[in-house]
Structure 1
């Protein structure tokens, strides 16, 4: 869907990122008492940095070639540290803060995409008749 100059597609990718982040946070919380478990994190920034590095091969250095990005454009990494004696690396305070941040991000994307579809609906109905 390429409506609104790709805005809806960008919002969709943001929602995909948020869904993956939510699953990773839930997995971390579920494994809070698992000995040796290292918490995981989702990184959209790593994908963006990779694209910046690859952009030198583009026709214009200001363009990003996003054809090499995976289906959701995110990477899941393992945090290398342990915070407990049993080797577990889940920090519940950090996970809860990440969960709240992700929820705010998700809600803002939903509001934005809802507004875009509301505008489209208004156009289809004839501008508010």
Structure 2
């Protein structure tokens, strides 16, 4: 078993990369809040996490229908960025909702920090096993 390049590490890498893409998308939306006819974009990447989880043959009891399903290959494709065209919030054709974007920015930052902490924990464990971390 490869301690560094394994499905869990690849999953974390994919999630970090997708979270960065989401951060960039939200930043673009915020930067264009006053641009006429700008349509807000949304990053979609939960499909990648579900595919990555399905390869690990995990199973879990779901207590809520909103919980992720466990159980599928690590997909290193980039996250999908889609345009939101079904709403118009401003008189100039722009559909960026700054409150929603700021909320999404905060949620994504928390998610990214959790992923970084988990990645650091994995590498700390490897370092301890090797004998360099006491």
TM-score normalised to the size of structure 2?
0.74
The alignment of Structure 1 onto Structure 2 pairs a total of residues equal to 113
Report what 1:31 is aligned to: 32
Report what 1:3 is aligned to: 3
Structure (1 or 2) with the greater helix fraction: 1
In the TM superposition, residue 127 of structure 1 has moved relative to its aligned partner by 7.3
Report what 2:113 is aligned to: 107
1:76 aligns with 2:81: yes
In the TM superposition, residue 34 of structure 1 has moved relative to its aligned partner by 0.2
Following the alignment from structure 1 to structure 2, what is the Cα–Cα distance between the partners of residues 8 and 37? 37
Q: Which moved more, 1:119-128 or 1:6-15?
A: 119-128
Task: Point out where structure 1 has 5 or more consecutive residues left out of the alignment.
Answer: 52-62
TM-score normalised to the size of structure 1?
0.76
Residue pairs, 1:90-101, within 5 angstroms: 90-101=96-107
Following the alignment from structure 1 to structure 2, what is the Cα–Cα distance between the partners of residues 76 and 9? 21
Report what 1:59 is aligned to: none
Task: Point out where structure 2 has 5 or more consecutive residues left out of the alignment.
Answer: 52-70
Report what 1:13 is aligned to: 14
